[in-house]
């Protein structure tokens, strides 16, 4: 009896599943109908935030609108998030390429030039000249971008994603509890000694807390050079007086390590700073167990301020300028992304049958209409023009279904992620909903970091092999020693041995590789 019932249940389940499968197969077939002449396939990442709402970019209102405007139907192929590089490799290895691939082409082994000789992508010089009027206009008006999106031998290779304003380059820096500073009657610290005062005061007032904390210390220092920059030194490779140098070899680096060591000994730095993940960091900042950290404007500062507002508690953060040694100095280093970094840039493959059509589609985003569409979505739905200023609607900023701003925005526009267009400053102004965020970005971006940044260089294949072999060892070693020095597992007196070991790893060779690539870049 029991067996019969079970068997029946299993049969029913089977039938349902199989019919479901048929349904899905049918859907698939219906989906592929359309004018074959006007169809392109695009391989690009579907961001997790967007994947929560849509199967496919084709379902996004933005891309439906784009199809209407350009008359080109796009079949998107999305690699599963998180394993793009593996899937990209398989794509290339199997040779079954779509028409357009969005990827970080600077990260292609051997660089974009190699991708062309490997017969993956094509040079775009003719296409941009004749079929991409918008991009052509853009790069002829902005010569610095022209240099960025071609290889050493002068081949254009992508329709790039470009951050369109200085305001968008910097979004990371040090934040500190404003309310605690006020309690102690202190100003926003701007020098190392002021920082020391403030942190010591925090510690005195609240012995249980950590005045300064980090998550992924080495990464945060590498991205921002916070505190390190005060000693006239950056992290990793950067340009000093026209020459490529490596931070840890510079005298300032040792001073920075000593400073961190002293602060750690004095209890000013979180005991768990080396093990914090972002969740731990967030919980410490929000539950008043830490007073300052290196954070991002949106997912750090913005989130904390949202929380304070929501829970109606007194929790106030401000962004601090990057610290210097003597008051009034302009910080030499700080967080600064470059306008073109390689990510999210669209290249046309050798398998593309209608290259002009592909170029036309990619080019759309650099025109006036495309610019608004990619950055703000659809007029009247996701934004309204108010005195020429595209203001996001409440659908985005106060989503009725309870979506966060970033989720809602991701559902309508690509400004928060990337694509073949120029990112608009006005998106960021609205995304940064709190006054403190804008203020922070202004403080953080007031540095000379631009003078030290490496341009988007490309390496030859041999260079990149050599470089990665050297740097794999060095990066691990450096991260390890840095933390060991700070927590006292390794006496600072051994710093010279650390530098010696870097030389044994052949850091000079790596420096000369970077120098060579920079020289070639400058000659473009």
State the minimum distance, in angstroms, from the CB of residue 38 to other proteins: 21
Q: Which residue intervals of 232-277 are DSSP H helices?
A: 251-265
Q: By CB under 8 A, is residue 17 in contact with other proteins?
A: yes
State the minimum distance, in angstroms, from the CB of residue 246 to other proteins: 17
Given the rule CB under 8 A, which of 144-152, 173-181, 294-302, 317-325 is the region that contacts other proteins?
Answer: 294-302
Site for other proteins in 503-522 (CB under 8 A): 505
Per the CB < 8 A criterion, the answer to whether 102 and 63 are in contact is no
Contacting residue, 140, 384, 472, 497, with other proteins by CB under 8 A: 472
Question: In a 3-state reduction of DSSP, which class is residue 413?
Answer: coil
Site for other proteins in 74-93 (CB under 8 A): 77-83, 85-87, 89-90, 92-93
Nearer to other proteins by Cβ, of 318 and 482: the residue is 482
State the minimum distance, in angstroms, from the CB of residue 398 to other proteins: 16
Nearer to other proteins by Cβ, of 132 and 409: the residue is 409
Site for other proteins in 157-216 (CB under 8 A): 171-172, 216
Site for other proteins in 350-369 (CB under 8 A): none
Nearer to other proteins by Cβ, of 364 and 459: the residue is 459
Contacting residue, 12, 18, 205, 450, with other proteins by CB under 8 A: 18
Burial class for 462, CB neighbours closer than 10 Å (0-12, 13-18, 19+): exposed
Q: Which residue has the tokens 């950290």?
A: 293
Beta strands (DSSP E) in 26-104 are 39-43, 73-77, 100-103
Burial class for 122, CB neighbours closer than 10 Å (0-12, 13-18, 19+): buried
Give the Cα separation of 348 and 363 in Å (integer): 12
State the minimum distance, in angstroms, from the CB of residue 7 to other proteins: 13
Q: By CB under 8 A, is residue 2 in contact with other proteins?
A: no
Q: By CB under 8 A, is residue 57 in contact with other proteins?
A: no
Q: By CB under 8 A, is residue 21 in contact with other proteins?
A: yes
Nearer to other proteins by Cβ, of 134 and 296: the residue is 296
Neighbours of 328 (CB within 10 A): 7
Q: By CB under 8 A, is residue 49 in contact with other proteins?
A: yes
Contacting residue, 4, 27, 185, 493, with other proteins by CB under 8 A: 27
Contacting residue, 297, 318, 320, 507, with other proteins by CB under 8 A: 297
Q: Angle at the Cα of 42 (from 347 to 407), degrees rounded to 5?
A: 105
- In the chain, helix, strand, coil percent, each to 5? 55, 15, 35
Nearer to other proteins by Cβ, of 94 and 493: the residue is 94
Structure-token pair, residue 505 = 């790893």
Contacting residue, 282, 345, 382, 460, with other proteins by CB under 8 A: 282
Given the rule CB under 8 A, which of 64-72, 194-202, 366-374, 472-480 is the region that contacts other proteins?
Answer: 472-480
Burial class for 520, CB neighbours closer than 10 Å (0-12, 13-18, 19+): middle
Tell me which H or E stretch contains 444: helix 435-444
Nearer to other proteins by Cβ, of 236 and 367: the residue is 236
Question: In a 3-state reduction of DSSP, which class is residue 317?
Answer: strand
Handedness of CA 118, 93, 111, 474 (dihedral sign): negative
Nearer to other proteins by Cβ, of 96 and 394: the residue is 96
Q: By CB under 8 A, is residue 109 in contact with other proteins?
A: yes
Q: Are strands 290-296 and 210-213 parallel, antiparallel or unpaired?
A: parallel
Site for other proteins in 299-318 (CB under 8 A): 299, 302-303, 306-307, 310-311
State the minimum distance, in angstroms, from the CB of residue 83 to other proteins: 6
Give the Cα separation of 277 and 361 in Å (integer): 41
Per the CB < 8 A criterion, the answer to whether 473 and 479 are in contact is no
Q: By CB under 8 A, is residue 386 in contact with other proteins?
A: no
Residue 233's φ and ψ, nearest 5 degrees, are: -130, 140
Contacting residue, 186, 487, 492, 511, with other proteins by CB under 8 A: 487
CA dist 373 to 423, 426, 482, Å? 11, 13, 46
Q: Are strands 100-103 and 39-43 parallel, antiparallel or unpaired?
A: parallel
State the minimum distance, in angstroms, from the CB of residue 393 to other proteins: 19
Per the CB < 8 A criterion, the answer to whether 308 and 178 are in contact is no
In the stretch 329-348, what mask flags binding to other proteins with x, by CB under 8 A? --------x---x-x-----
Q: Which of 105, 115, 146, 111 is nearest to 129 (CA)?
A: 146
Integer Rg of the chain from CA: 26
Q: Which residue intervals of 175-297 are DSSP H helices?
A: 178-184, 192-205, 217-224, 251-265, 278-286
Neighbours of 10 (CB within 10 A): 10
Given the rule CB under 8 A, which of 195-203, 322-330, 371-379, 464-472 is the region that contacts other proteins?
Answer: 464-472
Burial class for 524, CB neighbours closer than 10 Å (0-12, 13-18, 19+): middle
Nearer to other proteins by Cβ, of 131 and 303: the residue is 303
State the minimum distance, in angstroms, from the CB of residue 55 to other proteins: 5
Contacting residue, 8, 9, 12, 14, with other proteins by CB under 8 A: 14
Contacting residue, 434, 438, 479, 516, with other proteins by CB under 8 A: 479
Site for other proteins in 111-130 (CB under 8 A): 114-115, 117-120
Number of residues that bind other proteins (CB under 8 A): 105
Site for other proteins in 389-408 (CB under 8 A): 401-402, 404-406
State the minimum distance, in angstroms, from the CB of residue 201 to other proteins: 22
């Amino acid at each position: 009896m029991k067996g019969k019932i079970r068997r029946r249940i299993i049969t029913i389940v089977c039938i349902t599943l199989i019919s479901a499968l048929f349904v899905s197969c049918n859907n698939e077939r219906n989906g592929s109908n359309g004018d074959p002449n006007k169809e392109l396939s695009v391989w690009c990442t579907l961001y997790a935030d967007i994947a929560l709402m849509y199967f496919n970019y084709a379902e996004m209102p933005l891309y439906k609108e784009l199809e209407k405007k350009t008359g080109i139907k796009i079949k998107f192929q999305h690699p599963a998030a998180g394993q793009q590089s593996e899937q990209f490799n398989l794509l290339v290895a199997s040779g079954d390429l779509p028409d357009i691939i969005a990827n970080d082409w600077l990260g292609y082994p051997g660089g974009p030039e190699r991708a062309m000789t490997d017969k993956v992508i094509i040079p775009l010089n003719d296409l941009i000249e004749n079929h991409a009027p918008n991009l052509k206009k853009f790069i002829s008006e902005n010569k610095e971008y022209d240099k960025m999106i071609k290889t050493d031998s002068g081949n254009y290779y992508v329709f790039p994603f470009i951050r369109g304003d200085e305001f968008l380059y910097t979004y990371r820096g040090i934040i500190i509890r404003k309310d605690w500073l006020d309690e102690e009657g202190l100003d926003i610290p701007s020098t190392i000694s002021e920082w020391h005062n403030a942190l010591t005061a925090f510690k005195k007032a609240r012995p249980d807390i950590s005045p300064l904390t980090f998550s992924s210390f080495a990464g945060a220092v590498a991205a921002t050079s916070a505190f390190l920059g005060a000693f006239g030194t950056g992290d990793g490779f950067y340009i000093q007086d026209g020459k490529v140098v490596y931070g840890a070899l510079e005298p300032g680096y040792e001073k920075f390590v000593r400073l961190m060591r002293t602060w750690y000994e004095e209890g000013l730095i979180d005991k768990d700073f080396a093990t914090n993940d972002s969740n731990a960091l967030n919980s410490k900042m929000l539950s008043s167990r830490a007073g300052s950290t290196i954070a991002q404007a949106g997912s750090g500062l913005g989130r904390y301020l949202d929380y304070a507002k929501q829970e109606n508690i007194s929790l106030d953060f401000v962004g601090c300028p990057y610290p210097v040694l003597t008051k009034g100095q302009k910080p030499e280093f700080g967080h600064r992304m470059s306008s073109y970094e390689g990510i999210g840039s669209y290249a046309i493959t050798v398998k593309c049958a209608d290259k002009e059509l592909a170029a036309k589609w990619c080019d759309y985003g650099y025109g006036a209409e495309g610019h608004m569409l990619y950055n703000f979505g659809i007029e009247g739905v996701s934004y309204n023009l108010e005195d020429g200023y595209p203001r996001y609607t409440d659908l985005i900023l106060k989503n009725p279904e309870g979506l966060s701003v970033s989720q809602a925005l991701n559902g309508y526009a690509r400004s928060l992620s990337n694509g073949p267009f120029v990112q608009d400053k006005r998106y960021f102004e609205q995304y940064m909903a709190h006054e403190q965020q804008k203020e922070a970005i202004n403080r953080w971006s007031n540095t000379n970091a631009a003078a030290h940044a490496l341009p988007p260089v490309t390496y030859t294949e041999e260079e990149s092999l050599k470089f990665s072999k050297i740097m794999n060892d060095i990066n691990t070693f450096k991260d390890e020693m840095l933390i060991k020095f700070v927590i006292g597992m390794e006496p600072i007196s051994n710093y010279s041995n650390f530098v010696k070991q870097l030389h044994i790893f052949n850091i000079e060779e790596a420096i000369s590789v970077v120098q060579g690539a920079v020289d070639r870049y400058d000659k473009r």
